[in-house]
Structure 1
């Protein structure tokens, strides 16, 4: 069954003026482990994300990086996603007024899951702020 998901774009202003500060936090396993998942393994263009720590509540998902521009953006597709157009992207932009970096998230979900996805990203951004001060 091929389901068409809805795209959501979220923008979060960060407390940083240089993309080089943010880039490792969104592209390296150790950076992603600080706010996005409990464990992250990166091997070339393959990513393995693990949430939860015990056998009973562990959730693992694999993804493939399909586009990466250093200090600009990283885009990956979840393995097994049936929507060929769906992806997850984290892009760094510079705010026009503040010159602070803005993290622009593009993600996809079923129409009735968009609010949950927005809440998940809000929670992730709170974790990012607490872990890094960004």
Structure 2
């Protein structure tokens, strides 16, 4: 199994950390921007898009701060990959950003994954009315 490539992206966003956290940590919030539908049972989340379904395990969550998931396909392979959405507040300016950490299979896929996150975060900004 080849090593995946880790990447991080930062998106400035105009919303309170508390509100943002609702959108990144709850099935109803995630289904507004991340997937068409999201269901959860305990720490198991199911993300549904048009014709596909992906399951992920909630690894950790810290209220108002961050959430971390691992796709079950990675879990089954014994891989320690994850994707994390973190809310960062600048101590001085109080500007809020979302930091996304994710993994891609290779360099080409990194670009594709970044474009996907770009699109998803712009959907989130529209939902928040801060686009």
Q: Same fold, TM exceeding 0.5? A: yes
Q: What is the match of residue 111 of structure 2?
A: 115
Given that 1:6 and 1:110 are in contact with CA atoms closer than 8 Å, whether structure 2 keeps it comes out as yes
The answer for the alignment partner of 1:43 in structure 2 is: 41
Task: Determine the C-alpha separation between the residues in 2 that align with 1:118 and 1:98.
Answer: 26
* TM-score when normalising by structure 1: 0.89
Pairwise mapping of residues 44-123 of structure 1 onto structure 2 (< 5 A)?
44-52=42-50, 58-81=51-74, 82=77, 84-96=79-91, 98-111=93-106, 112-123=108-119
RMSD: 1.3
State the TM-score, normalizing by the size of structure 2: 0.91
Gaps of 5+ in 1: 53-57
**Structure 2 counterpart SS, 1:80:** helix
Residue 97 of structure 1: CA displacement? 5.2
Quick check: which one's helix share is greater?
Answer: 2
Aligned partner of residue 128 in structure 1, secondary structure: helix
Q: Paired residues, what number?
A: 127
Structure 2: any 5+ residue segments left out of the alignment? none
1:124 paired with 2:117, answer no
**CA distance in structure 2 between the aligned counterparts of 1:103 and 1:94, rounded to whole angstroms:** 9
